[in-house]
Amino acid sequence: MIGSGSVPNYDRGAWNHWVDADNDCQNTRAEVLIAQSLAPVTFTTSSNCTVLSGRWYDPYTNAYFTIAHDLDVDHFVPLGNAHSAGGSDWAPERKRDYANSLSDVDHLIAVSLSANRSKGNRAPDEWMPPNRSYWCEYAYDWIRIKTAWGLAATQTEWAALQTMTATCPAGFTYANAAGGAAARPATPGAVEPTATSSIPNLPSLAAPVVSGVGATFASVTLPAKPAGFDNYGNQFYVKLFTAADATSGEIVLGGWVYAATPWGTLQATSNTALQVSTTYWARFWLRDSLGREVLSDATSFTTLAMPALPTLTAPVVSKIGGTFASVTLPANLAGFDNYGNQFYAKLFTAADASSGESVLGGWAYAATPWGTLQATSNTALLPGTTYWARFWLRDNFGRTVLSDAASFTTLGSPLPGVPPLDAPVVTAVLPDNVTVRWPAKPAWFDDATMTEVTLMACPTAEFPCNWLGTP
C-alpha cells in the first residue's frame, strides 16, 4: 500500500463534484446532509433543493450543528490526497464517481467548516481530528476507503495511522464502527449549538413605491434597511416582471450586494430599456447567506406611450467667413433627456437636404453643448457657396427628425487680401541668438484663410532664409 513517485499537478476542477446524479435538484452535498441529519431537515425554498437546517453530529470536533450553512461536506480521503495517491491516472468518469460517491457512509461526511478547512487535502501525518476519541475509527475508515479505491499511502502517512489505531480502546473491533460516524453516539461532552445558532426569520418586504414612470423607464424608491438582518443578508434586488405572478419577463432594475444596498434612495432603470405602453409588476427580492429567498408583493405600473419627437427650429447662423460658418445650438429640449440619442448640426448644398451633406458638429444627446456657439472643424467650406444649415436628432427608438433650414452663402472671391506686415522689431541681439517681438494680430483677418505666420531670418536681402519659429 506504500506509494511513491511524481504526479501531475492537482486540479480540483477535474474532479466533477456536487453533481445532481438523479436529477431531483438535490446535489451530492444536499443528499449527504439529508442522509446524515439526526432530525428532519428543512429547505431554503419550497423546491426542496437546498438544505437549510437539521441536526448533525461532527465527530471531528465532537459538536452538534443545526444550520447547514455552518457545515462542509468533507471528502474523507480528500480529492487532493486521492489525486496524489493514484487518482491522477483515473478517467474523468472515475474521478466524478469518487467525488460524489454515496455508497460508503463515511466517504462523504458532514463536518464543521473550520475543521474541514483546517484539514484541507492533508493526510493523517499532517492533520488529525481535534477530537482524539475519534482517532481510532478515523484511521480504520481512512484505510478502508483507500483500500476500496486502490489508493496508496506514504510511509509517514502509514506511521501516523498506526499511531491513531494505538488509541483504540480495549475490546474495540472495527465492526463496532459500522453505520457511519455521524450516526454513532457522540463522545461524552459533545458541544450543543448555542442560542446564536438559531435561524432568523426572513424580513417582510413591502411592495415597492414606483416614484416615476416614462415611456422606457421607471424609478423605484428602495425601502429602509430591514432591522437586525445585517449579518444574514446576501443580495437585494429590484425586479420587474411582465407577469403579475412573477413567472415571466424578469428584468433587474437594480441589484446590490446586501451590505452595499443604497437603502432609502431613488433608483431608476439603467441597462435595459422598458417597452412603451407595457404593464410591469415591480417587486423587491432578497437572498440571505443561508440561501433563502423572499419576494415582496408587487406594485404594477404601465409605461407611457412613445413620446412625440420634438420640433426643431431652424438654426441661427451666427457668423460666416470664406471657408466656415458658426451655428448657435438651441436650448436643451424639454422633457426629452430620457429618449434622445444623438444631436447633430448639419450643412447641405441642396435646399431639400438631398446632397452635399457635411457635419458641422455631432454629439451623443446627453453630451450636447446646448445653447453654445459651434463652428465647423473637420471640413472647410467652399468660398462663395450657398449652404443650408439644419439640426438633426435621432432618439432611442431609432426615429429621426430634421429641422427647417437656414441658408447662408460663404464669402466669395476675391477673398480678403493678405494684410500688410510691418518689419519685425529686434529687441535683443546676442552672439548666438536674437529676440524678435511678434506684431499685433492683423484686424479682421480671422475670417479669411490665413493658416500660419512664420518668422524667418535671411542673411541677405534675398532668399534663402532660415525658419526661426511659428507662434
Q: Please say if the pLDDT value at position 180 is more than 90.
A: no
- 320 and 298 inside one domain: no
Choose the weakest-confidence range: 204-208, 237-241, 433-437.
Answer: 433-437
Confirm whether 1 is domain-assigned.
no
Q: Which residue, of 242, 274, 302, is where some domain finishes?
A: 302
CB neighbourhood size of 430 (10 A): 7
- Evaluate whether residue 307 is within a structural domain: no
Report if residue 60 sits inside a domain: yes
Dihedral sign (CA 154, 158, 163, 167): positive
Do 92 and 64 reside in the same domain of the chain? yes
What pLDDT shows up at residue 221? 93
Of 302, 330, 365, which residue constitutes the final position of a domain?
A: 302
- Higher pLDDT among residues 243 and 289, named by residue: 243
Instruction: Indicate if 228 and 111 belong to the same structural domain.
Output: no
298 with 323, same domain: the answer is no
The residue from 302, 327, 342 where one domain ends is: 302
169 upstream amide cis, omega within 30 of 0:
no
What does the pLDDT read at residue 446?
55
Which of 391, 231, 263, 411 shows the shortest CA–CA distance to 324?
A: 411
pLDDT, tens digit (0-9, with 9 covering 90-100), for 365-377: 999 999 998 766 5
What are the pLDDT digits (tens) for 159-177? 999 999 999 998 888 864 5
Whether 269 and 127 share a structural domain? no
- Whether residues 112 and 82 share a domain: the answer is yes
360: enclosing H helix or E strand = strand 358-364
Residue 121: its pLDDT value, please?
96
Residue 176 and residue 96 share a domain: yes
Compute the average pLDDT of residues 42-66. 93
> Do 446 and 363 lie in a common domain?
no
Question: Is 420 inside a domain boundary?
Answer: no
Average pLDDT, the chain: 87
Output 184 or 136, whichever has higher pLDDT.
Answer: 136
Residues 271 and 333 in one domain: no
Per residue in 21-41, pLDDT (tens digit) is 999 999 999 999 999 999 999
Lowest mean pLDDT across 242-251, 348-357, 439-448 = 439-448
Q: Are 123 and 234 part of one and the same domain?
A: no
Ranges 185-199, 236-250, 407-421: which has the least confidence: 185-199
| Residue 372, domain extent | 316-409
Pairing of strands 406-409, 425-429: unpaired
Is residue 3 in some structural domain?
A: no
| Nearest by Cα to 273 from 248, 245, 237, 240 | 240
Q: How many domains does the chain have?
A: 4
Contacts of residue 18, defined as CB under 8 A and 6 or more positions apart, other chains included, come to 27, 28, 29, 99, 100
Is there a domain that residue 17 lies in? yes
CATH of residue 282's domain is: 2.60.40.10
In a domain, 203, yes or no: no
The answer to the question of residue 88 being in a domain is: yes
pTM listed for this prediction: 0.59
Note the pLDDT of residue 415: 56
Residues 339, 266 share a domain = no
Res. 467: pLDDT tops 70: no
- Which has the closest alpha carbon to 129: 61, 56, 57? 61
Q: Is 158 a residue whose pLDDT tops 50?
A: yes
Same domain for 228 and 140, yes or no, is: no
CB half-sphere exposure, 400, CA atoms < 13 A: 7
